[in-house]
Amino acid sequence: MQCEKTQRLEALDEVRKALASHQETPPSLDKMHEIYEACIAHALAIADGNEKLLQYANATSYNLSANLASCWFDDRRPRERKHFEAGVASANRCLALRAQLNKPPFAFAMAYFILGVHEFSLKHYSAAEHAWLNKLEQELLEFENHVKAEPDLNVILSRGLISLVQWRLGSGDGKGYEESLSLLEAQRNAGNGAEIDLFKSELSLLGQIV
């Protein structure tokens, strides 16, 4: 019986992978959401504490939430409120699974980032601020000396995100947001150009959400 349940998950995951491979004609967000949720639900239903299945549900939850987010320059498919709400639910599930799996701080930071993106898109600015403050807190745990964290690209991104959402809340002037864009560019070198471009585009696209 367990073998049959595992085979069912493998079949679902093959469909998920097939959808993900359609780069030129990506599936609708609703179809993608449907198959990812089916994979996650089945994995959790049969997991019974199995770490490999929990890890699968964790990673797939994160990828679902990320795919539904509105901060990617190379995926401008229209998003609706339902997509952001599903993204929040999937990010929160991911965070719970990462706690269960005892993941390191950076893994939590990634999940808090995508949670904040969805909350920001929903105009839940206090919730977005909370998520991004948690993102920064997790990133700083990786450094014994917080001064050494200041040039870190993820830390710079976090400070820009926090400044942006505080600007929307009326508790900031947005200067930190603009400063983070400049600081990211100042850190550019031969090895990190793609990451710099990604982080700047994320900040810029989120800044355009009204």
- DSSP letters for 62-124: HHHHHHH-S--TT------HHHHHHHHHHHHHHHHHHHHTT--HHHHHHHHHHHHHHHHHTT-
CATH T-level topology, domain 2-207: 1.25.40
Chain position carrying tokens 């699968």: 56
**Predicted local confidence at residue 3, as pLDDT:** 65
Q: What is the largest CA-CA distance in the chain?
A: 59
* Average pLDDT value for residue range 157-184: 96
Please write the tens of the pLDDT for every residue from 98-153: 999 999 999 999 999 999 999 999 999 999 999 999 999 999 999 988 788 889 99
Amino acid at 6: T
Measured between alpha carbons, how far is 32 from 184 in angstroms, rounded to an integer?
33
Crossing angle for the helix pair 51-68 and 29-47, to the nearest 10 degrees = 160
Residues 135 and 109: beta-carbon distance below 8 Å: yes
Measured between alpha carbons, how far is 201 from 210 in angstroms, rounded to an integer?
16
Q: Give the mean pLDDT of the chain.
A: 93
Please write the tens of the pLDDT for every residue from 2-41: 566 688 888 888 988 887 776 667 778 999 999 999 999 9
